[in-house]
Chain A
Amino acid sequence: MSSESSKKRKPKVIRSDGAPAEGKRTRSDTEQEGKYYSEEAEVDLRDPGRDYELYKYTCQELQRLMAEIQDLKSRGGKDAAVEIEDRRIQSCVHFMTLKKLNRLAHIRLKKGRDQTHEAKQKVDAYHLQLQNLLYEVMHLQKEITKCLEFKSKHEEIDLVSLEEFYKEAPPDISKAEVTMGDPHQQTLARLDWELEQRKRLAEKYRECLSNKEKILKEIEVKKEYLSSLQPRLNSIMQASLPVQEYLFMPFDQAHKQYETARHLPPPLYVLFVQATAYGQACDKTLSVAIEGSVDEAKALFKPPEDSQDDESDSDAEEEQTTKRRRPTLGVQLDDKRKEMLKRHPLSVLLDLKCKGLAPLSLGHLLTPRSAASCSHVGVWQADAPLPTKIFCSARSQLVLTWKQQWEEDWHIQGLDHRKLSVNGGFAHQWERALPPPDGHFCVEPRAWPVFSMQSFPSSSDLLSPDSVLSCLYPGDHGKKTPNPANQYQFDKVGILTLRDYVLDLGHPYLWVQKLGGLHFPKEQPQHTVIADHSQSASHMETTMKLLKTRVQSRLALHKQFASLEHGIVPVTSDCHYLFPAKVVSRLVKWVTIAHEDYTELHFTKDIVEAGLAGDTNLYYMALVERGTAKLQAAVVLNPGYSSIPPIFQLCLNWKGEKTNNNDDNIRAMESEVNVCYKELCGPRPGHQLLTNQLQRLCVLLDVYLETESHDDSVEGPKEFPQEKMCLRLFRGPSRMKPFKYNHPQGFFSHR
């Protein structure tokens, strides 16, 4: 501020001083010049300290003068005015001095500032330079490290070892005398050698390729020759067919069957192979055949990748359709179910011939009517098969499934009592999972046998496919799916229980799974199952034997039932020793009853509670009469007859109703037929058990009635005079009657 004011003033001073100064300058330029710059130059000459002293002194003088002026004024006097004037002049001089000093101070300040600024600029410039230099240093250092860290490509090349190099490389490459000492040259030489070697190998590779092509061409030529051989061989085979037929050597047929068998799904294939093997080795009566369309089966085998694509497409389509046709969701689900339970086009037919059935004695052979109706053949044709693909996300893994099914069909052909042939095919259902990463397939198949046969009135249940095959092994009633994994799939398409579909599909018996080589562990629902030959083989023999005995015993029963319905208990000659010659009680009725009716009978409670009255059993009601006494017998026929005995529960209507609850002897009679059944089996295989039990029941009723103590108080003769020879009438605390028949002597005793 002060400097500014001084600047403003300076030109003024210059201008005010200008006009006179011009004139003066012309006179003495140097003087004027010195005068003009005097103050600025003066600054350099003067000592600031002295100026300061001067300033202090001037101020003191001014103060003194002011005080004197005041003093004079206050005193007032004549001479005062003069003195005041004098003093004022002095003060003015002092003021001038002060002014000068002020200007000098300003100039000094400005000068100092200029100097400072100058110095500062110099420092800035130096600083900038320094920074530039530092940056350059850094950059250079970086460059140096980069260079140091550089890696050459040759380091990655796996070079031959040093000794090998010197040993093998030609001297013009190795140049031992140069390279031995210089590692750089040495490396270069080694790289040269590497290149040389690689070039040689490439040459070799090309040679091998051409060699290979040459060999391929040769193979092609030979192949052509072989294929030209095939038609010729075929024509020879064709020509030999009539000869084969003429000589009864069905090589060709067997071969064809094996060809077809390749299209069977694994479980059926296992079944086919094992059954054929078993038939050839052990059982000539078993023959195996494959039925169905091979082409349709071939169509099912598509590469899984394609199918997967299809699936995603159809999935999308499906979504669209569901959007379009919402109300038909139920129909769709129904279709899905149908697809899921579709049968495989191929089926394996097991033909088991049972020969040498013992004809029943007493001429109670089949009546012509029933014989005629037996010859019916029921065949169940498989539906048109289409591979069904269903995504199952139960295990967060895509599972692609084909649902296919085989039908099993049992039919009895040309039934006479000499030869019986039973055909069985198998209904299978199997699923194929997408290959897991390691690339093998999981197969989860199921097999369901299905039987169909015309029922005829007398013993419909007896030979109905349902009951013939049921419980072949204990508890194997085929009402649940053997593969726990199926439950999830059923859930998906809304199948609540398999029971509703068993009629159409057949029963998934466990023994069929085992014949198909499938084993489903019960405790591990997600276990993947693989068709296994050993599994099938271990069960083949027992199952076939069981099937045979089952059918034989059923046929025996069937014959027996025909006469039972006419009130005749057929006793074969080899079982006569079990019964006395005269049996008065007669069987008057033999009818089938329903399971529900059986459980509702008042005298069968014990059996139901003991868990012996399952719904897989067959139930009959027999009525044995003698005079006024009527003995009802409710019979449980286990499907495992005749190894598992029929169970009788009795109710006698004579002088009141007597059951095992209120009469110890009725209880004893039941135990005679139920527990002591082993002596009633007759000759092996014990097909006469049921009839013998019934005959025994008649005998027991005779004994019971004849030994009943006569009431002395009642007049008249006994209704049933004692005809049987008995050692004693009663024995033991529960007063048992002598139910045991002793054969040659013909008397009755206690057990």
Chain B
Amino acid sequence: MTASGNCPTGTTEERELPFSFTPQLFHLHKDHEDGDIHRHMYLQDLYVSGADDEPALSVSEFACHISGCSAVFSALEEYEHHYNSLHRHVCCSCRRSLPSARLLDIHIQEWHDSLFTVLAQRQDMYQCLVEGCGQKFRTSKHRKDHLIRIHKYPPDFRFDKTKKDRGTREAKRPQQKDTAMEVADDVCESEGVCEVMCDVLSEQRELGETMETLVEEEAARMTKPAATMEHTDLSAAFDGNGCTSSETFKTQYSYRVPTTVCFGHSSVRGFRGRRGRRK
């Protein structure tokens, strides 16, 4: 099989074509099991036609592809649900999962855009998270204060995380209820008030902390299909202000690329060596 002529970006990778399917013939061994068993039962007068002694037919399970997420589902809807909740708006740098495209954009900007950091020294760059508010602030702390005072965020929002707190962050995270987010192709009507970029977390910006641990931890909690959903930074937000089930989230091209970090064509997709920590 070649890709020549059909490949829009040229045939540079023809040699490395990863597809290898060829039709194969299979030969059955004479002692191949199950039918043979029935034959011998028949000979020994033990066979009953239609008797239900074979293992019942089962349906294939679905499984989340994201490495480290071991969630398994018996129905396609559950898979969709899980994926859209946990993996859809994911930053490709630090692999944090955000509930919406807008918040993902904001996250990427504030965390991974060095230009932002430069500009923020001189002007108000931190946007209020509440859609429609439009205000901007010089520091994330100012924004946090604004969110609490003006938009009535609960004071026990996890704003004041420091590096030292990182280890206990997981323990403090409350259980997330299933908010039954729907998947829709429409743009979000309201994004919900979700704190994503704790200013303190921005101090944890070293890439060493990958989403690896976060996803795995979530995966560990995914014992039942999509029974609970944990967002890396959002559970408090959900509890606090309740992104309710009436929210709809934009489903779109999901893994956003911070332009200053991911360069070039290939960085949009493939991540090699997810397991390691990048420093």
A and B found bound together: no
**Chain B contacts to A: CB under 8 angstroms:** none
